[in-house]
Amino acid sequence: MTVTQDSATQNGALLEVRGLETHFKAGTKGIIFGIGAIKQTVRAVDGVNLSIQKGETLGLVGESGCGKSTLGYTILQLESATAGEVFYDGHRLTGLKSGEMRPFRQKMQIIFQDPHAALDPRMTIGQAVGEPLSVHGIVAKDEVEDKVEELLATVGLNPYFKNRYPHEFSGGQQQRIVIARALSVEPEFIVCDEPISALDVSIQAQIINLLEELQDQFGLTYLFISHDLRVVRHISDRVAVMYLGKVVEQGQIDALHDNPLHPYTQALLSSVPIPNPALAKTRKRIILEGDVPSPIDPPSGCRFRTRCPIAVERCAEEEPLFREARDNHWVACHLA
């Protein structure tokens, strides 16, 4: 299903998301002898718009439970969209059947947060990396073993480890195996779903450097999901900030870091540790009060208003538009 004369191709974006919604049913409440039951809906992703240019890294940040991973899964069609559209290289993915998605499965891959859970303990790492090669017919059957060895070497592992099982490797090595498996089908776009959060701090930088090297080597495009703003600033070209199912700010990484417009982004950045004690003393820390509201029953108007230190009456009555406040710097806030 090819899109013609569409903004997905006109602006050169490899990936474009428009008004994307992913809602889940969450049982019922108010049941009195079967009368008056109300079906509840979790609005995990609730009207997201974003685009990613070929070869760039878009960082996606926000608190746990804000919908970052669900957005990534929906982009890859691992979760079904409730509404909205996803375009990949001019092709509309939302609504495609499983067989129609098959060509895009090769082009779009994911690196999961927990490498141990992502690997089948009954398969050797050679089998794990080689299976996609066979499924998608990337190489001839008699060339699979050589290709597996090449992929393991590419991610910094000894090719002769191919007959070992996942439990014989450390967390960082397991994540390298998962990355090799993702690379095996020669993808263009990879969703990195918090790929270092389950690893030791000493290993995290190695994996980040590996991802950057692979991006340069293979021309990859990343959606990098994380809650660590320091890591996002290091690896990303642009960043999108997500809160309770919505993107509230998006822009070039340096502009957003140096001059955030949304109060939520300002609060997130104020929590990032500064290694210079003298400089840290001069920074004003923004402490958010209260808990994140439930995605089942989000606040009216601006979803951040219940925790926002500058909220006004309008914030409760009117949902802010996601607008371009500065050049290539977008924000959803009445007061920005």
Q: What is the pLDDT of residues 272-301, one digit of tens each?
A: 777 767 666 666 778 788 888 999 999 999
* pLDDT tier for residue 4 given thresholds of 50, 70 and 90: very low
Instruction: Reply yes or no on whether the pLDDT at 186 is more than 70.
Output: yes
User: How many CB atoms neighbour CB 134 within 10 A?
Assistant: 14
Quick one: how far is CA 270 from the chain centroid?
22
How far apart are alpha carbons 283 and 106 in whole angstroms?
46
**What backbone torsions phi and psi does residue 60 show, to the nearest 5 degrees?**
-125, 115
Quote the pLDDT of residue 272: 77
The chain-wide mean pLDDT, for the chain, equals 90
* pLDDT tier for residue 5 given thresholds of 50, 70 and 90: very low
Quote the pLDDT of residue 279: 66
Quote the pLDDT of residue 7: 42
Signed CA dihedral, 132, 135, 138, 142: sign only: positive
More confident residue, 274 or 317: 317
- Quote the DSSP letter at residue 319: P
* pLDDT tier for residue 37 given thresholds of 50, 70 and 90: low
Instruction: Reply yes or no on whether the pLDDT at 243 is more than 50.
Output: yes
Quote the pLDDT of residue 90: 93
Quote the pLDDT of residue 271: 81
Residue in the block written with tokens 């009207």: 47
What is the strand order of the sheet 91-92 is part of?
38-53, 13-29, 83-88, 91-92
Q: What is the pLDDT of residues 207-241, one digit of tens each?
A: 999 999 999 999 999 999 998 888 999 999 999 99
Quote the pLDDT of residue 169: 96
Q: Is 26 helix (H, G, I), strand (E, B) or coil?
A: strand
DSSP symbols for 207-276: HHHHHHHHHHHHT-EEEEE-S-HHHHHHH-SEEEEEETTEEEEEEEHHHHHHS--SHHHHHHHHTS--S-
Residue ranges per domain, the chain? 7-24+42-331
Instruction: Reply yes or no on whether the pLDDT at 19 is more than 60.
Output: yes
How large is the average pLDDT for residues 127-142?
92
Closest CA to 249 of 273, 267, 235: 267
Q: Which class for 116: exposed (0-12), middle (13-18), buried (19 or more C-beta within 10 A)?
A: middle
Phi-psi region of 307 (alpha: psi -120 to 50; beta: other; left: phi over 0): alpha
- Quote the DSSP letter at residue 298: P
How large is the average pLDDT for residues 19-39?
73
Amino acid occupying residue 259: N
Span 7-24+42-331: which CATH code? 3.40.50.300
How far apart are alpha carbons 73 and 110 in whole angstroms?
9
How large is the average pLDDT for residues 106-121?
94
End-to-end CA distance of the chain: 39
Q: What is the pLDDT of residues 146-180, one digit of tens each?
A: 999 999 999 999 999 999 999 999 999 999 999 99
Percent of the chain past pLDDT 90, that is, above it, reads: 74
Quote the pLDDT of residue 273: 72
Q: What residues have CB less than 8 Å from 281, skipping those under 6 apart? A: none
For the chain, helix, strand, coil in percent to 5 are 35, 25, 40
**Assigned token pair, 218:** 């293979």
Instruction: Reply yes or no on whether the pLDDT at 64 is more than 60.
Output: yes
How large is the average pLDDT for residues 78-93?
96
Apex CA 311: angle with CA 309 and CA 317, to 5°? 155
Closest CA to 15 of 47, 44, 48: 48
More confident residue, 2 or 91: 91
Q: Is 176 helix (H, G, I), strand (E, B) or coil?
A: helix
